Structure 1
Amino acid sequence: MSLFYENFRDFEDAGKTILEYLHNHLGFNLWMITRTEGNDWIVLQAKDSGYGVKAGQVFNWADSYCSKMVLGKGPRIAHDSKKIPLYEEAGINKVVDINAYIGQPLLNEDGSVFGTLCAIDPSVQPKSIEQYSDLLELFSLLLSRILQNEIKINEQKRISEKFEMESLTDHLTGAFNRRAWDKLLDLEESRCKIYGHSITIIVIDLNDLKYINDKFGHLKGDQMIQETVQIIKRTVRSNDLVARLGGDEFGILNIETNLENTQKLANRISESLKQAGINAAIGVAARQPGTDLQQTVVEADKQMYRHKRQIKDMSQ
């Protein structure tokens, strides 16, 4: 089949080509490539001719047919899905009209579920669509392999990008400067849109820098800034990105982690800063599907200022 000999540029290109092919040859109103992240079922790509579903939309994973399919509790092809009790009871039916379903898991290298290649249609389909099971499995294996290779490549790209940004560092602390921060946000935002992975942001603001500068001089203030960055770098993971965003404000870009783990990290940083006698306000936010990392930074900023007000209120 000529499709297999096409020179796919990447996972995104392969996905678009495969969705187009399946839509043209098997029908079905909606074909999707999805990512599951916690209880979010994120649409990475969609070939839609009736449902109005677009890339970036998020559904509830537990409500989906796919959540049953990947556990082996429901068939990968259901020409009349309402005859499958678990599918008939699924919460997704309250959102969209489904009478036929196709699903195949997309796997990470360790065998865990990344997401799915799937299709739905409002009409019952001929039982003969079951003859395409081998083809569908082949496509899911192909996409999984491309995905796994790209994830490895992206890990190396991140390392290279950090080295390339070495010239864009803050002279006082050695952390990335604001220009590098913005560039790295843009690079990770592009990956988020393609792969749907989770990213969180921590924003840290020093509460007493002006007081320290005024009372003890700027040299003492500079030492506090340097110590803050040293503490942050000792605490974060090796693939997290640390930047000085302004005079007394710092940002941490946490790649492929969730809000719960990031909050634990923020708590460890806060405790270490307190032990060093550094008073800081900290805000944490996770990128939400359908938003972008710049909006996440704004939300983390809001949380930081909320924390700053709490500290001020407690000190009065």
Structure 2
Amino acid sequence: MNKLLVVQTCGTTSNLKDFKDAGEKILEYLHNHLGFALWMITRTESNDWIVLQAKDHGYGVQAGQVFNWADSYCSKMVLDKGPRIAPDSKKIPLYVEAGINKLVDINAYIGQPLFNEDGSIFGTLCAIDPSVQPQSIEQHSDLLELLSLLLSRILQNELKINEQKRVSEKLEMDSLTDHLTGVFNRRAWDTFLDLEEDRCKTYGHPTTVIIIDLNDLKAINDKFGHSAGDQMIQKTAQILKKNVRSNDLVARLGGDEFGILNIETTLENTQKLVNRLLKSLQNAGINAALGVAAREPSKNLRMAVIEADEKMYQHKRQIKVII
């Protein structure tokens, strides 16, 4: 198969709009020319194997589904422990032993790694079919490698652009700041949630949310006046900003409530941040309740906000019981 014709058919790099568009065209092309019941573009994050895009004709797999990475054929393929093309996957012992076989019927497999700029594995371009395929599909190995490299390059360039976009978006949102604290306001928070949700859906980024609520603001206002309460709110904002990374987002959501959007961060790392925040706030004499939640690929960031808010109230109730 002529490689130039393939690229022209999928779309040249100049008329491919973005990673998502390139992925859709490549999956469509590969299904039309090589068959296979399911073609996917996936992301691996920790032990999650996240489906970013799917061209499905029989398995019922959709974008946003999450499988166990260690159970997949791809986890063996990227380590060169299994072939990238297996017309009869039952002949490959490691593939036969893979846990994914308990969920779906697989008799043929294709897989190619997708790379981050530093050479680490981002995910895979892969396909499975319930029927054994002809040995002749192995002749398309160069084509598959070419398309995976093309996707990787588009991905790498786009991730760089996204970092620049985040900086630009923050600059554009400077007018949407809370006058008392200097952090972003609720309107900016809602805007950034939507922007980051789109990126999470496209690239499978892990993102977490922290909700912070001050427990003693009303008592401070009643006892010492609103200026003292304002000072506590300002001090809280300073502590939050000091502890987060430059690409994270801190916003005052209203009254004594703040939110932190942790970009491309796991729940484990966010919990470490929560512990630092609690210690810093306590050292400053600020009594606060915190709740944290991670965006799940099958859900969205706004659902994570709701979960984090619920956990914050759980923490608040625990504090009252202790007191």
User: What is the TM-score when the length of structure 2 is the normalising length?
Assistant: 0.97
Q: Within 1, Cα distance between the matches of 2:148 and 2:203?
A: 15
Give 5+ residue unaligned stretches, structure 1. none
Q: Which residue of 2 aligns with 1:175?
A: 183
Q: Which residue of 2 aligns with 1:209?
A: 217
Counterpart check, 1:226 vs 2:247: no
Deviation at 1:4, TM superposition (A): 5.7
Q: Which residue of 1 aligns with 2:121?
A: 113
Q: How does 1:252-263 map to 2 (within 5 A)?
A: 252-263=260-271
Q: Which amino acid aligns with 2:43?
A: R
Give 5+ residue unaligned stretches, structure 2. none
Q: Which residue of 2 aligns with 1:3?
A: 9
Q: Within 1, Cα distance between the matches of 2:48 and 2:241?
A: 31
Q: Which residue of 2 aligns with 1:281?
A: 289
Structure 1 moving runs of 4+ over 3 Å: none
Q: Which residue of 1 aligns with 2:86?
A: 78
Counterpart check, 1:21 vs 2:29: yes
Q: CA RMSD in A?
A: 0.7
Q: Within 2, Cα distance between the matches of 1:247 and 1:18?
A: 49
Deviation at 1:165, TM superposition (A): 0.6
Q: Which amino acid aligns with 2:273?
A: L
Q: How many residues align?
A: 315
Q: Which amino acid aligns with 2:223?
A: K
Deviation at 1:169, TM superposition (A): 0.6
- Percent sequence identity is 79
Q: Which amino acid aligns with 2:246?
A: S
Deviation at 1:255, TM superposition (A): 0.3
Q: Within 2, Cα distance between the matches of 1:205 and 1:52?
A: 42
Q: Within 2, Cα distance between the matches of 1:238 and 1:155?
A: 11
Counterpart check, 1:30 vs 2:43: no
Q: Which amino acid aligns with 2:257?
A: E
User: What is the TM-score when the length of structure 1 is the normalising length?
Assistant: 0.99
Q: Within 2, Cα distance between the matches of 1:265 and 1:206?
A: 17
SS at 1:119's partner residue? strand
Q: Within 2, Cα distance between the matches of 1:190 and 1:219?
A: 40
